Amino acid sequence: MVKKVRVGKRTSAEYQAIGKLIEDMYLVNSPGQPKVLWFSFLRGLAYGLGIFLAGTLVIALLAWILSFFDQIPIIGPIFENIVNNLDK
């Protein structure tokens, strides 16, 4: 037999029962502090590595794009100086 669910206002006892169920579900599925710390550490390493690689690629792409402007008469020396500083 299917239990009928009442729609509308709930009593304090019903809210407490729902809260207890949610708390039990959290405690059963909680990975524990050591796992959370290890996961956060690995996430931080991956984030740092991603930022480093993305920054390297952006600077390399910027240097490559700026290398096309060194043949323009007026701004060529300025861009050439920037590219030389980026290549160091």
Can you tell me the mean pLDDT for 53-72?
Answer: 84
Above pLDDT 90, what percent of the chain?
Answer: 28
Place of tokens 């729609």: 7
Chain centre to alpha carbon of residue 11: 41
Can you tell me the mean pLDDT for 5-24?
Answer: 82
Count of domains for the chain: 1
Quick check: 12 pLDDT over 90?
no
Residue 13 half-sphere exposure toward CB, CA atoms < 13 A: 0
Angle at 48 between CA 45 and CA 51, to 5 degrees: 150
Quick check: 70 pLDDT over 80?
no
- Structural domain includes residue 18: no
Distance CA 60, CA 53 (A): 11
Which residues constitute the domain of residue 53?
A: 33-87
- Structural domain includes residue 44: yes
The model carries a pTM of 0.51
